[in-house]
Structure 1
């Protein structure tokens, strides 16, 4: 039986490249299941989720995992390979001699140790030689105060991570203060450095996404759009010819579209949407837009309400266009032909599509109370929500692993 949610939040470097993900669990007594011991919950979550789903989707990225005190004393982290696991010591762990001995041992075994939500105090001084990363919640420890602490440790090998970075300004301040890594949602807001126009290839992608959201796909319209874009044409044929379903080489767009069918066509267009956007944006943002689209689609498929094929998918995909193009959503949505229900869902959180999008964003941010409320409001089983998230993460990882060049 699944009794847990898990979400992942990106951790980015100064260039906004993804270093890894913090895997966020619902495992405390305040979270819906008070009868489950947090230590037991963490063990179950590690085996159910980290091993079965998220571990395989981390790729070459690091997985940051919170461990309660007893899990550390029991050396639970050593059950997992050390190469892409960062062991986070929770802020409520007491800095005992027993914990210090375990931290020392894990450090010698090659595990990266992080102090989570760190508040500077002399009790933790003995731990510092064995710590790789110190995380400051900038809502609790102001950036300037953190900067003074980091200066004192400037000769050490410790790297510093700023948590709860919510705006681009905070990201810039934290970078200047000397932080190495950043966690938060600053990248999902437009930076507004300069106005980007909708480039022809990206405009084609947007029009294609609009076409595949319709109940009856117009293959002629799709063929017409693809044939006008040389890059898209090449990628379509390369994608179809690399597919296991193709026995003879495909030569025409129409033939390719017939072979692909609706599901694979959506997959292909999503993939090209990833590849055709601006290189200067964080890679995580493209992955998130695809994952969010798929997650919205899977949630929509579990509801009793009848949704047109592709509507929930497009709602998720288009909800990040402002971040990808550095322009207000309303302005972008006015320029493209998109269904009014999708537009209202994205800009006003209206209707069932709006409910799905709000639920998806709450899940991504691990706002579990809000997640539970929204599940009840739309009549969605909470176990189904967890399954949909796992499936969307796997689906996205699969897409990115076959990224066409």
Structure 2
């Protein structure tokens, strides 16, 4: 399955692109689908910021993202790098105390706030000290009314964005009135982009949601659940090592990631991933095979006659099919993950002892008994050990699909 997003450029007074508004799509049809607004926002965040790194949709300039009321009061924008996004407060948001507190908090955290489709209602006045950009809809308000408003407030520190500019005459009028930014079909229609979806298993996500609802959160249990799903593993390591979290040294395992983020950020991470994929059908075969390979690598490392790190072996196994899952070249995906040189070389080059473990799995899966024997000898183990690990892993997989019981 694929993830879709449209982006429409935002230009300055010299008609140079300074950012893009990201618009959620769920198919090739370039129009907003019939989907609940908070679900659309969650999917947009996961599919364009957590899943594939700095892809075309989010590269270079800032991205403007629509946030409905529930997403704002839950502070979901905190998952994103503040220097790369502009938070658009949707016009459907009621200007109540909860929203005011959320906007003020996001402002103090350094985020840029924009009021989308601003309707000039006086109830928004108390928000103004915490707002950077006001977007005025030329179709909704009309060119003259929008321009008059900007002319009356040109001395404020605010920037004004003219959206849905359809003609050159409207652009010239908006620029003369003092607008700073411009968006609309006169400049460009939204451009549709797509990426492969990263979709955690439904059952795993439900188990994780239950765990983060406990007080206090049992981090070892959360770590076990995340490590059981290749997509969650990838998303977590991508997220914690993204531009939003610049650490002195990369974070390369789940335990470090959970400790670094802390309870509140983990709850945000899990909730947005769960909301993004609550209604998406997910193919199981590749996920199960990835988990099977991870478990076998871990157990083979423990039983090897040479010194092998079982945690590193697990990572090599769980990410060994990542290119098939995401339909992207493995070297490009691995650039986004802070894996050790040993794991990196094993996955890309099949070099080193971990490379031998992965080659052993391939040989065993293909009933290539000659190479199975060769890699067993190199790893200091017997073929009987490999067969035992394989059958133990199948039994483990069958039991692991059952949710944890309280």
Do they fold alike, i.e. is TM over 0.5? no
Structure ID, larger Rg: 2
**TM-score scaled by length of structure 1:** 0.43
